[in-house]
Amino acid sequence: MLCIWWDQLGVVYYELLNPSETNTGTLYQTQLMRLNLALKEKRPQYYSRHNKIILLHDDARLHVAVPVKNYLKTLDWEVPPYPPYSPDIAPSDYHLLWSMAHALSEQRFTSYGVIKNWVDSWIASKDKEFFRLGIRMLSERWKKVVASDGQYFD
């Protein structure tokens, strides 16, 4: 399982879980701690401007677990409300992972290390415009979700 956080400048942080790992609320909270450190290192402008960080994640159980919600409050990040599961407005689903899935279609991996190297190479192959486009598409897709009353669309 790939857990990835990105913005309009590129990937901020990701973890590739081992096949035996399960993403739980506790693990997600730990990942958010690591994400916070990565943001301070890779995007110091977010902290120097005192702007809020907006974290868009869905309403999966581990994302709304009490320890996760409490930790996000301590960070003072904004977490906008998310409609019931809708991949149509998750930039990772409709943009980043869709593109990655397309590139994976002919791949066969023999080990965790080979997968990690492939993910690193794939991320490095994407320019800033790729990530900007994914974020720019968000507002239009959100409007479509509202207009379609939550029904799926292409």
143 to 65, 88, 93, 127, 148: CA distances (angstroms): 28, 11, 17, 27, 9
35 by Cβ neighbours in 10 Å (0-12 / 13-18 / 19+) ranks as buried
Give the Cα separation of 79 and 77 in Å (integer): 6
Question: What CATH number does the domain containing 115 carry?
Answer: 3.30.420.10
Answer whether residue 68 is part of any domain.
Answer: yes
- The number of distinct structural domains making up the chain is 1
Which single residue is written with the structure tokens 């593109």? 99
Q: What is the pLDDT along the chain (154 residues), one digit of tens a residue?
A: 889 999 999 999 999 998 888 888 889 999 999 999 999 999 988 877 666 788 888 767 777 788 888 999 998 888 887 666 565 566 667 788 888 988 998 888 999 999 999 999 999 999 999 999 988 888 787 777 767 665 665 6
Domain extent at residue 77: 2-147
